[in-house]
Amino acid sequence: MEQIEFDYPAAKRRIAKKAHVGVVGSGDMEVLMDSASGEGAHVSITTSVNGFRDTWKVVFDRFFSKFDGAVRIRINDAGATPGSVLLRLEQAVEVIEQ
Amino acid sequence: MSTAETFPAFVSRKSFIELDGRARAQSLFDEGTAKELVGPFDGIESPWLAIQGVAPQADDGCIVIKGKIGGLPAVVVSLEGAFQGGSIGEVSGAKMTAALDLATRDSEAGKKTAAVLLLETGGVRLQEANLGLAAIAEVISSILALRQHAPVITVVAGTVGCFGGMSLAAGVSSYVVMTKEARLGLNGPEVIEQESGIDEFDASDRSLIWAIHGGEQRVGMGEADALVEDDADKIASTIRGYVQAGPPSEHRSEQVKLYRDRIAALDTSEQIDPMSLRQRWNGNNTTGGAR
């Protein structure tokens, strides 16, 4: 069990909608995305697989290189691979940008 | 029937089993009436899973949606089978109990509110042990209170099935709806094998499992009321029918004498096969083929 937090202060675009996608099933995760309370975006991850902080960082660096919303992202993870993490994030973005 | 006739129907049907817990619940309501209560953004997670190294889920795998079904007030409680096997913990149990109790309160005040339970669950969440057991007791007593006023309809669609304590909740429901893919039983196949040995029950024998626990058998024995195809529209219309029908004059679980006599009359000196049990208990109402 590991708790991981990241901040992306450069993501400043205001977001009005919320999104909830995914299930905390084996190899999957859920994402809750809503507007951040402060400036910039904040990510908070609860994962049952320890020791992958650097991998999460790489995935989110890539995600925020294309996305600029000031969102609060909360993740409950049950061992999603980096590929599925990005897919779930894109799915959530699709919901809030609709 | 030719393949040309069956193939398009199979392809165009909207599967219920393939929907997740939330989408299943939403698919039952009249357009635009569904409103989720204590949703994932309210953040009521299980406080016990994280300390045991298990990632929690924001809705604790229990989705509660209020709205109208066929124009009548109803609440749907759906268990997400993909999260911890749909197991009942402190939070998910409390959500289910509260939803049933609020429906009872509304019903007593004159606004009859039916409850639909979409059960995909292995029963008590082992990580929350006694709290889960207590939750199941509360759920059952809340069902008993509500069913006097409005129907409590349990749907077991699959593929998890409904086992353990929650099978008791299914047992005290007004109506039980199953698909052919679904399974319903107090002890699951693996539990029986583990406790009584492989001679008693081979949990790797799928045809045996479905012959005992499967939807066809349960409906055939008269322990469930409707066998519905895995089709979201058909399941929704079956539920609408039961919501409109109201509670039955006598619930299955009230017919104690009937079931006691049936079990007393069984000859256990010979192996009873599933098909003959259907014929003996449910006579000509038997649906579906032998397995």
What is the pLDDT, as a whole number, of residue B291?
44
Distance from CA of A32 to the nearest CA of B (A): 7
**Mean model confidence pLDDT for chain A:** 96
Report domain extents, chain A.
Answer: 2-97
Q: How much is the average pLDDT of B193-209?
A: 95
Closest in B21, B41, B61 to A34, CB measured: B41
Residue B284 has pLDDT above 70, yes or no: no
How confident is the model over B145-183, as pLDDT tens digits? 999 999 999 999 989 999 999 999 999 999 999 999 999
CATH number belonging to the domain at A2-97, selected among 2.60.40, 1.10.3470, 3.30.230, 3.40.50? 3.30.230
What are the phi and psi torsion angles at A36 (to 5°)? Answer: -75, 150
Reported as a pLDDT band with limits 50, 70 and 90, residue B290 is very low
- Structural tokens at position B169: 């909740």
Compute the mean pLDDT over every residue in chain B, rounded to the nearest whole number.
93
Q: Does B83 touch chain A (CB under 8 A)?
A: yes
* Chains A, B: CB pairs < 8 Å: 48
Strands B114-118 and B152-156: parallel
Interface list for chain A against chain B, based on CB atoms closer than 8 Å: 1, 18, 20, 23-25, 28-30, 32, 34, 46-48, 74, 76-78
Judge whether B57 is closer than 8 Å to chain A, CB to CB: yes
User: pLDDT of B22-40, one tens digit each?
Assistant: 999 999 999 999 999 999 9
pLDDT of residue B27: 97
- Give CA torsion, residues B252, B256, B259, B265, to 10 deg: -170
Q: Which H/E stretch holds residue B210?
A: helix B206-213
- Supply the ipTM of this predicted assembly: 0.93
Neighbours of B12 (CB within 10 A): 8
Q: Which residues of chain A carry a pLDDT beneath 70? A: none
CB within 8 Å: B40 and A32: yes
Q: Name the nearest CA neighbour of B278 among B269, B265, B289.
A: B289
Cα-flanking dihedrals φ and ψ of residue B282, to 5°?
A: -125, 5
Nearest to B98 by CA among B47, B165, B147, B37: B37
Domains assigned to chain B = 14-285 (3.90.226.10)
Cβ distance A1 to B53 less than 8 Å, yes or no, reads yes
Hey, is B269 helix, strand or coil?
Answer: coil
* C-alpha separations of B155 from A30, A37, B104, B248 in Å: 25, 40, 20, 16
Tokens describing residue B121: 């669950």
Residue B204 CA to chain centroid, in angstroms? 23
Query: Is the model more confident about A14 or about B284?
Result: A14
Residue in chain A closest to B82 (alpha carbons) equals: A25
